Every structure is written in C-alpha cells, then in structure tokens.
C-alpha cells in the first residue's frame, strides 16, 4: 500500500468563487449570502502572478486584489444591507438564556 494513495493531496490553489449578478444575490437566502461573504473574506490578499496571468484568472474570483473581488464584495454588502440581522453566536446564546429564564 503506497502512502500517496491513502493521503489526499492538499489543494494549493485558493477556493474559487463564481461571480453572481445583483439579481442572483438578491434571490439568495441571507445565510447563503453570509457564507459567500465568509468565502470572499477568506480569499488571499494577492497572488504572485504577473498581470498577464492575472488577466487569464479573472473568473472565478480567487484573490482580493482583483477588481472582480472588489465588485463582488461591494455588491454583496449592498444586498446584505437590505436584509434582516442574523444574530451571531453570542447573541443567540443570550436570547436562548433569556427565553429559558422566562420559562422558570
């Protein structure tokens, strides 16, 4: 049994994120938008590629230093600004504890 067959090769390229139109973003569930936001923020700042290489890699979104990433993040923020607030982990915990306290 070879060691290489039992171990998965780690991916060296950043996660690819497909650009979406404002209409597509608007149709997405808020939780999905938040997941997209996390994925966009997880993109590396930049790559070590030349300008010509970067031009060939514009789509899908991979790096924060691209105009495509900046546009995608701006559009995402624009859509999220119209949505309801989703409580974070601490806020959900406080709400849960308050409900439990009222039930006593």
Mean pLDDT along residues 59-77: 84
Mean pLDDT along residues 85-91: 91
Q: What are phi and psi of 66, to 5 degrees?
A: -90, 150
- Write down the pLDDT at residue 49: 61
- Write down the pLDDT at residue 2: 44
What does the alpha-carbon distance between residue 58 and residue 67 come to, in Å, rounded to a whole number?
9
Query: What average pLDDT is seen over the chain?
Result: 79
Other CB atoms within a 10 A radius of the CB of residue 73 amount to 17
Query: H helices of 19-65, where?
Result: 22-27, 30-41, 51-56
pLDDT tens, residue by residue, 18-66: 889 999 999 999 889 999 999 988 888 776 665 555 555 556 777 788 8
């Amino acid at each position: 049994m070879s060691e290489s067959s039992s171990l998965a090769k780690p991916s060296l390229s950043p996660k690819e994120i497909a650009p979406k139109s404002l209409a597509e973003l608007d149709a997405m569930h808020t939780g999905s938008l938040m997941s997209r936001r996390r994925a966009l923020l997880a993109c590396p700042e930049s790559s070590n590629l030349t300008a010509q290489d970067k031009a060939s890699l514009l789509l899908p979104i991979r790096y924060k230093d691209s105009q495509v990433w900046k546009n995608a993040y701006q559009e995402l923020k624009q859509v999220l600004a119209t949505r309801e607030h989703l409580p974070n982990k601490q806020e959900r915990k406080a709400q849960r504890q308050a409900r439990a306290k009222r039930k006593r």
